[in-house]
Amino acid sequence: MNRAWWLVAGAFLASAAALAQTMTVGDSAGGVSSVFGRTGAVVGASGDYTIAQVTNGLTNVLTSAHIHVGSAGNVATDVAMTGDVTISNAGASLIGTIAGVAVGTPTGTGNVVMSAAPTLSGTVAGTYTLGGTPTLSGGTLSGTTTLTNGGSISSAGALTVRSAAFLGTVPSVSAGGGCGGSPAVDANATNNSGRVTVGSATTTCVITFAAAFSTYNHCQVTSGSTLAAFAYVYTLSAITVTATVLGGDIVDYRCDGV
């Protein structure tokens, strides 16, 4: 009888252990019975995990005007945009320099990178080398300006603008300067070329350049008619034309130089 009792007790304990295992594991496949307190067909929900619990998780916290950049360890990192370009917290970018040279100011100094066909306005002074097909709009080039690479300016190669002679300033003539009564210079004349109508009753006419050549010049002068003893000489600052009777003659000139 004692043996029968132990058999019954053993069977009861075995059943209790099996029941406890079923309540803990939930099924024979070993799945959990609940996730974050939810049972049944459990799906992920917002707030289940924090960013710290996710490997290489990207936080939604980012310093104002900073960007995420992949680090050397291949992890998105909060950094400030520096160097030639900066960015605002509104997403607007600003190019402050190009290769470390400041840009954005019309009167800045130093090297400036231009497009292949830049348009220049105002007064461009100093020493510049312009390639491609530069366009000058409503301004002047002064100082030492070299245009290279041909383009529509010069198919043969480099063109150097050397002097104020090419800037469109009209030379002067006057009766007091020895050019007869009421002399005149055409409105489109420059130091480089032009036409002068000599005043009356004179044997001499002095054409004074608006800006003197600084180093040298070469000039050629012709008369509109055949005059006796027609001759001319020139300096860096003026051309002097003479003839036995020069009054009323039309004189054309062309000069170049530095």
**Residue 208 pLDDT level (bands cut at 50, 70, 90):** very high
**Residue 101 pLDDT level (bands cut at 50, 70, 90):** confident
**Residue 130 pLDDT level (bands cut at 50, 70, 90):** low
Structure tokens at 76: 């998105």
Q: Which of 50-54, 70-74, 102-106, 175-179 has the lowest mean pLDDT?
A: 102-106
Q: Which of 56-65, 73-82, 86-95 has the lowest mean pLDDT?
A: 56-65
pTM of the predicted model, to two decimals?
0.42
Decide: helix, strand or coil at residue 124. Answer: strand
pLDDT of residue 153: 40
Q: Which of 14-18, 122-126, 184-188, 191-195 has the lowest mean pLDDT?
A: 14-18
How high is the mean pLDDT of the chain?
A: 73
Please state the rounded mean pLDDT for residues 112-120: 60
Between 133 and 182, residue with greater pLDDT: 182
What separation, in Å, do the N-terminal and C-terminal C-alpha atoms of the chain show? 136
Are 216 and 252 a contacting pair, CB within 8 Å? no
Angle 213-215-221 (CA atoms, 0-180°, nearest 5)?
A: 50
Strand 135-141, strand 119-124: pairing: parallel
Are 243 and 228 a contacting pair, CB within 8 Å? yes
Query: Percent of the chain scored above 70 by pLDDT?
Result: 61
Instruction: Burial-class residue 212 by CB neighbours within 10 Å (0-12, 13-18, 19+).
Output: middle
Task: Please say if the pLDDT value at position 51 is more than 70.
Answer: yes
**Residue 244 pLDDT level (bands cut at 50, 70, 90):** very high
Are 215 and 258 a contacting pair, CB within 8 Å? yes
Are 231 and 197 a contacting pair, CB within 8 Å? no
Structure tokens at 150: 């041909």
Task: Please say if the pLDDT value at position 105 is more than 70.
Answer: no
pLDDT of residue 31: 66
